[in-house]
């Protein structure tokens, strides 16, 4: 099934043209991100916490120390919302009213489940690492049993999901096109700067190829 079925809760109502429900778009947005925002409730107060994540097929994994309030709370099985947003540009219109931004976002609604089976948990840790830096996992010391136990992993099925995408230039009111003001888009991009070796290194190590060619 290549499309998510919009529900009452995921159907994009405001500016519906921006709604996307195909898995390819959703996967691509998720796979090019590093940090998502997880929303959950504690005693009726919403919390929104940035965290790392990884996707495998139709499952999103989030993790953190077992000490984290967020993870203790959501592992009890309460509803969560996970949102990932890329900001792609500033849309500068001729009127204040039509200023906007270009972006790609994914909103996932669901219930987070605690991942307890060790093999799935280890696989999730591999996916977190590879989400941050593809190729990294095979280079580094992998988790010990103790580290695996100290890490809480949660999974959320990609079932109730929508994406929203805005691209292109400003859309102004007809009568504003004659105004003597520059209008257009300032594209924004997240770029990697030269890698900074750890000051605490014992010896210089060559920069791995996956780091030299890094792009998300």
Give me 214's structure tokens. 């890094």
Residue closer to a second copy (CB basis): 4 or 103? 103
CA-closest candidate to residue 187, choices 86, 87, 88? 88
Whether the CB-CB separation of 60 and 112 falls below 8 Å is answered with: no
Taking the C-alpha atoms of residue 17 and residue 166, their distance in angstroms, rounded to an integer, is: 9
Q: How far is the CB of 194 from a second copy (least distance, A)?
A: 8
Q: In angstroms, rounded to a whole number, what is the distance separating the alpha carbons of residues 130 and 83?
A: 20
- Going by C-alpha positions, the residue among 1, 110, 115, 127 that lies closest to residue 56 is 127
Residue 40 or 155 with smaller CB distance to a second copy? 40
Which is nearer to a second copy, 1 or 7 (by Cβ)?
7
Shortest Å, Cβ 163 to a second copy: 12
* Whole-number Å distance between alpha carbons of 169 and 88: 12
Minimum Å gap between C-beta 38 and a second copy is 7
If the CB atoms of residues 24 and 192 are measured against a second copy, the closer one turns out to be 192
Nearer to a second copy, 76 or 188 (CB): 188
Least Å from the CB of residue 44 to a second copy = 7
Report how far residue 17's alpha carbon sits from residue 101's, in angstroms, rounded to the nearest whole number. 15
Task: Please state the closest distance from residue 155 (CB atom) to a second copy, in A.
Answer: 17
> How far apart are alpha carbons 39 and 47 in whole angstroms?
5
């Amino acid at each position: 099934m290549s499309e998510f079925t919009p529900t009452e809760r995921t159907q994009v109502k405001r500016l519906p043209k921006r709604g996307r429900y195909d898995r390819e778009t959703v996967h691509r947005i998720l796979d090019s991100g590093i940090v998502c925002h997880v929303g959950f409730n504690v005693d009726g107060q919403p919390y929104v916490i940035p965290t790392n994540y990884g996707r495998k097929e139709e499952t999103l994994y989030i993790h953190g120390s077992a000490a984290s309030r967020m993870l203790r709370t959501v592992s009890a099985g309460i509803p969560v919302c996970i949102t990932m947003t890329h900001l792609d540009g500033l849309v500068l219109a001729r009127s204040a009213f039509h200023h906007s931004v270009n972006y790609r976002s994914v909103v996932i609604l669901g219930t987070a489940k605690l991942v307890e089976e060790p093999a799935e948990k280890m696989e999730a840790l591999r996916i977190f690492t590879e989400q941050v830096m593809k190729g990294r996992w095979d280079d580094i010391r992998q988790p010990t049993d103790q580290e695996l136990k100290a890490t809480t992993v949660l999974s959320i099925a990609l079932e109730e999901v929508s994406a929203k995408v805005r691209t292109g230039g400003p859309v102004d009111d007809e009568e504003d096109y004659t105004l003597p003001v520059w209008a257009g888009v300032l594209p924004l991009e997240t770029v990697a700067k030269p890698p900074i070796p750890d000051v605490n290194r014992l010896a210089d190590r060559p920069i791995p190829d996956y780091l030299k060619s890094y792009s998300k």
